[in-house]
Structure formats: C-alpha cells, structure tokens
Amino acid sequence: MTQQFPEIVINGDQIDAKKCIEEGTSFAKFLATIVAVFSTLLFIVVTYGGFLIVLLFYPIIAAIMRKKALAMVHGSGIRVSDKQFPEIQKCLIKFKERLGITDDVSVYIVEDNIANAFVVKYGKKNVVLLTDDIIHGCIASGNPKALSFVIGHELGHIALKHNGVLRSWLSKRFKKLSRLDEYSADAVGNALVQDKTIAFNGLLLLTVGYSMMPYVNYETVIAQAQEVASNKYSKKAERSLTHPLLLNRLYRILR
C-alpha cells in the first residue's frame, strides 16, 4: 500500500525573482561576458578559424547531446506528476505560478548517496533533479517543508535564467558569478517559503545530513555561521568553489 507523502506546498503572494538578485551579480556577469568574448576571439585567431567552425557546428552537436541526456534522466529516474509524488508536483506548480514561470519544468527523483538537488536545461525543457537522500532527509528529519525550499531554490535558478546555455557556461568558468547566483536562488527559495526556519532547515540538511539534525544545537550553528561570515579568510577559502560555504549561506538566510 502506497504511503501518504507529507504536504509541502506553500501558498503565498507573487514573487519577483529579480528583486532577489544578489548584489554584485550584474557586474560579475559583465566581467565574465567580456572575458568570455575576448577568450573566444583569441581562440579563433590562435586556431586560424578552426574554433569558429566548432562553434558553427555546436548547435547540432548540443542538440544530440541534449536528447541523449534527457533520455538518460527519463530512463534512470522517476518522473514526478499528479499521480507520482503528487505533493511534490503541487509544490512545483504553485511555485511556478508564484514566480510567473511559463517554461516547461519537470521534476525527476534520482538515486544518489548525496542529499542534493540540481536544475538542468535540455533545449527548452527545464529539469529539476531531486536525489532520494534529500527527499528522505527532509521527511526523516521531521522537516518535510524544507523540501519546498530546495524546490524553490532550483526554480529560482530557472526564473533568473541561470541555467541557459551561455549563463551556465559563464557560471562554470567564473566561480564568483556562480556563487552569487546561488545566493540569489537561496533568496528566491526563502521568499517562496516565507519562513526562515524552513529555509534554514533546508540548508542545514545539506550541511550535517538528516540523521544528525535532531542533535544539532541551533544556537551554536548560528554563532558559527556569524563567525564564518565575519572571517576574511572565508572568502579566500571559497574562491575555488562554485557554491558559497554552507555556513555563509546559512548566515545570509538568517540575516
């Protein structure tokens, strides 16, 4: 007999995702674009136009790769629908409405030993991947609505066009931009759930895992997050990372 999945949908007002953009993102994007343009031109010159030929054929190659990747996801994950994990589907639909997202978005549950979630774009199709560990963790820790923050975070990336071809390429190579985008997506997720405790639990789950969450001293974690945020070496430590330090993300949520 199928067990009842807990309700995670959160109603609320419309959210303008652009108001959640982290300060400094526009400048970082501008710099990343300038460097990317000059790098591309340099490659074209150095390869005597060979790189330009690659760029011309890229759309065809990318289309084939997208179809294969989507087939892989569809063949190895469980697609969420109104009949399969309907509570997750309800949350997806409600958050899409509140963010004004009209693009096609599908959610798949995939097996992984890491509690995490991702959003990818295959052509015009957006796909949110939720690992079984992140879902189980939210439920087992007694914080099922933390999953709504996770979903809201990924939809924040979609609403702000972070997963487009060019933006994804820039973010992967210019990690400062990628980290700023993560803060922006966190802000969108926080605005959607309208409860910092829910958002905090969603991020804390990524930090310690669901099995340890019942034993965590929240006041101590908050104090540690403040220490990390005020430590000048924290920024230096995360320069090589695509995501901010998790304690920095916790601090931003509580700020």
Tell the burial category of 101 from Cβ atoms under 10 Å away from its Cβ (0-12, 13-18, 19+).
middle
Q: Are 105 and 68 in contact (CB under 8 A)?
A: no
Quick check: pTM over 0.85? Answer: yes
2-23 pLDDT, tens digit per residue, is 678 999 999 999 999 999 999 9
- Give the residue-averaged pLDDT of 45-54: 74
pLDDT at position 109 over 90:
yes
Cα 179 from Cα 22, distance rounded (Å):
10
Lowest mean pLDDT segment, chosen from 54-68, 87-101, 202-216, 224-238: 54-68
pLDDT at position 166 over 90:
no
Q: Are 127 and 106 in contact (CB under 8 A)?
A: yes
55-107 pLDDT, tens digit per residue, is 677 777 767 877 887 888 889 899 999 999 999 999 999 999 999 999 999 99
27-47 pLDDT, tens digit per residue, is 999 999 998 888 888 877 778
Cα 13 from Cα 100, distance rounded (Å):
11
pLDDT at position 194 over 70:
yes
Q: Tell me, what's the pLDDT at 61?
A: 74
Average pLDDT score, the chain: 91
